[in-house]
Amino acid sequence: MTKTTKQSFTRRGLLKTLGAGAGVAAASNFVPDLARFAHAQGSGPIKIGFQMHATGIGASYGRWYDRTTQAAVARINDMGGIGGREVEIVTEDDGTDPKRGAEVVEKFATQHNCDLAFGTLFSHVVYGSAPRAGELKLPYFVVSEGHHVASGKLNRYTLQPGITDVKSQVQAMAPFVSENLGKKITMIYPDFAFGHDHRDYFTAAIEAQGGEVVASIPIPPTETSFTKYFPNIPRETEVLYHVMVGPGVLTFVKELGEFFGPNGPKLFGFLDSLEAVSLASPGLEFLEGSYFWEGNPRHAQADQSEYDKMYRAAVGVDDMGASVDDPKDVSTYSHMFGCWETLNVIKAGMEASGYSGPNDRAALIEAVEAMTDMPHSDDHPQGAKVFNGKTHQTFGHQFISQVTDGKLVVKHTTSIEDGMYADEVDYTTQSF
Amino acid sequence: MLASLEGAVTAAILALTAMGLSIVFGVMRVVNVAHGEFYMVGAVLAWVVASMVGANPVVGFVAALVIAPLVVGLIAMTADKLILQRLAYDPDRTIVATIGLLYIIQQTTLMTFGPDARPVQPPFNTRLSLPWFEWGENGFEMFWPWGLSITSYKLFVIIAACAILTALWLLMTRSKAGLIMRATQQDSETAQAFGIPVGQVYSYVFGLGAGLAAVGAVLVVPIQQAHYLMGHDPLLLSFIVVIIGGLGSLPGTVIAAFLIGMSDGIISVFFSPTLAKIIATLAVALVLVFRPQGLLGRVER
């Protein structure tokens, strides 16, 4: 039995298989050529490459970014597409890995002939992918929160029009924390670019408020057990500022509760620590009364806007922020709105610039750079935003919620100006 | 105090997981790279079973503790029959095959169970604070600081792991099944000549090894939630433990698990968790240099 299979695997057979494979590859190379021809005629679909965290530590986010993206595209197509052309999403998994991210961007540009790339969340993947997007002259719309875009470290092809960045978020939070919770703060954050943004900019922002960060504790994002990090929290701590990502977030919060018991400091967390995790999970009762930053309130508020209602229904999220099909499947509500809004910005940019194909990529970027006010609307259900074309970064409202009877209730909404800071770069001066 | 308690919990879970790896290697001479994934499947199944049973956390947990290791054991036995047996247990090829198995199991879990971390409610969980004494302003004081505590469930994990390890030791040394396993370990050809169905023994041992990993996972899942990437750390630590303890030596494995677990707990708390990992890896290197057979391993003939 084994012998026959061995014999059938001959050199000739191998060559045949290889030949067939090469033929298929050649054919598939030919098909995108046809598609490009169709593009030139302005009749084919607009192809948007979606860099998805389908596997790896970002998979919980990736799944919801995908659902939001599909819902947003369905809505755009129902309204007649972009400039009369249908929008098609080409999804590639990046494994939440920077190296793979750069390869995916390359695939979008050369293999799939996408008009642009979109959708990355994790900041290390953005850092890995953006330089390649710049080299390939492929517009790269990230939905990442990192300060990397506005810091000037990336390039003219990378934009973040749909979600605010960490620097802006923490700057808007700091006054609330120092006035209402305490001035001696210990920070716990994931040990990569996104966490470092939190460390650097929150430390600066709280010092501007007369507060002090007494200790900062980085944790590797792939860590699975956390209690061993907590003894480094100094006893003088008044407020524990926590932000964590990755599949271990629930363990993190739970161990935090077990560690402190009833005598702990006040807690202020970024909802990242609980994205895709139900507040009703066993062991999270201790969070009652603690405060969270939210990018977009997960639980439908008493004063819920019409836009949020429409957006929730379109994506398939119930009033508790979970999937309408499975109440245990909790969304990443504080982040995924960015996909929806970014796609609408792309639509507006393409229509304003009369985009017809990859040759108009520079015109698309210039059209987005020219945008400023984005009013609260169906296109921007999270709230109004102001886009800064020079830094390629958008600014918006932030929410501070308190856990009340197991629900996140918004206590304070910051103004757009609270999160603004001086420009660090002017991308518009860079050549295409 | 906190450090040694945390360390003991780590050690207990580690001992169970590493024991599975050690038995499989000892009897079958197979380095099972997919061991961590059996651990992960155990944890995920614990969630599935516990949420199917529903309301009462005690019933759910007990059901998970029984069902999850059995199912994982069956999966492992099927894998043994389908893959390892066909490779004739060739050491090099089984490593590659189990690496493949690792990815198959991991990605199947991602596709079916999803990427989110899922909690299992512990059957009981009381937070026990420990007092701390200090010579303060008002003389000798006792107070209850934050952090100095353990939950009753964590203590249960330590006790349960000890009980299971004792049972395993009795099984290996006092029962006929243990005798057969040891015979197969010493010389599989002679064992076969004496009428021992070596193929069957291999399947059961592979299932038992995976089942032990799953037991460890079910015990840990009320502390650390189940998610599809959780198999990586236990695999690495199990290998460290098995190498330090001596491949195939069961008492060595337990001792090494205790050493690594405790040092991980203590060094993590007083210095940093990264340093703890560095030291564990350094220990492996030193053991390999100075005592290649491990602490209690025998020299290969």
The CATH number for A166-301+397-419, chosen from 3.40.50.720, 3.10.450.50, 3.40.50.2300, 3.90.1150.30, is: 3.40.50.2300
Cα distance between residue A389 and residue A367, in whole Å: 9
Yes or no, beta carbons of B115 and A60 under 8 Å apart: yes
Question: Mean pLDDT across the stretch A79-90?
Answer: 93
DSSP strand E in A146-243: where? 158-159, 184-190, 212-219, 239-242
A-chain residues within 8 Å CB-CB of B223?
225, 251, 255
User: In the numeric block, which tokens belong to residue A308?
Assistant: 């949020």
The values of phi and psi at residue B221, to 5°, are -70, -25
Q: Is B104 exposed, middle or buried (0-12, 13-18, 19+ CB in 10 A)?
A: middle
| Mutation target vs A (from B58, B113, B116, B223; most A CBs, 10 A cutoff) | B116
Q: Quick one: residue A371, left, alpha or beta (phi over 0 = left, psi -120 to 50 = alpha)?
A: beta
Q: Is A417 exposed, middle or buried (0-12, 13-18, 19+ CB in 10 A)?
A: exposed
- CB pairs below 8 Å between A and B: how many? 98
The reported pLDDT for the residue numbered B164 is: 87
Helices (H) and strands (E) in chain B, counts: 11, 4
Domains in chain B: how many in total? 1
Partner-chain residue, chosen from B10, B117, B127, that has the shortest CB–CB distance to A247: B117
Whether A166-301+397-419 and A13-165+337-396 are alike in CATH topology: the answer is yes
pLDDT 10s digits, A96-120? 999 999 999 999 999 999 999 998 9
Indicate whether B298 belongs to any domain: no
Cα distance between residue B280 and residue A417, in whole Å: 50
A-chain residues within 8 Å CB-CB of B151?
258
Partner-chain residue, chosen from A230, A250, A263, that has the shortest CB–CB distance to B225: A250
The identity of residue B297, as a single letter, is G
The reported pLDDT for the residue numbered B55 is: 65
- The model carries a pTM of 0.79
What is the value of ipTM here, to two decimals?
0.70
Cα distance between residue A232 and residue A238, in whole Å: 14
Q: Computed from CA positions of residues A283, B270, A268, A178, in that sequence, does the dihedral angle turn out positive or negative?
A: positive
User: In the numeric block, which tokens belong to residue A16?
Assistant: 């045949």
pLDDT 10s digits, B164-214? 888 888 888 888 888 888 888 777 778 878 877 888 888 888 888 899 888
The reply to whether A228 touches chain B by the CB within 8 Å rule is yes
Cα distance between residue A209 and residue A178, in whole Å: 7
User: In the numeric block, which tokens belong to residue A92?
Assistant: 């590639």
CA angle B176, B180, B183 (to 5 degrees): 135
Cα distance between residue B293 and residue B265, in whole Å: 26
CATH topology of domain A13-165+337-396: Rossmann fold (3.40.50)
Residue with tokens 């996972």: B217
Q: Is A148 exposed, middle or buried (0-12, 13-18, 19+ CB in 10 A)?
A: buried
The reply to whether A44 touches chain B by the CB within 8 Å rule is no
Question: Mean pLDDT across the stretch B127-154?
Answer: 59
User: Which uninterrupted H or E stretch holds B258?
Assistant: helix B250-270
The identity of residue A392, as a single letter, is H
Domain boundaries, chain A: 13-165+337-396, 166-301+397-419
A364 pLDDT tier (thresholds 50, 70, 90): very high
Domain membership of residue B116 as a residue range: 2-125+150-229
Indicate whether B98 belongs to any domain: yes
Contact B22, B287 (CB under 8 A): no
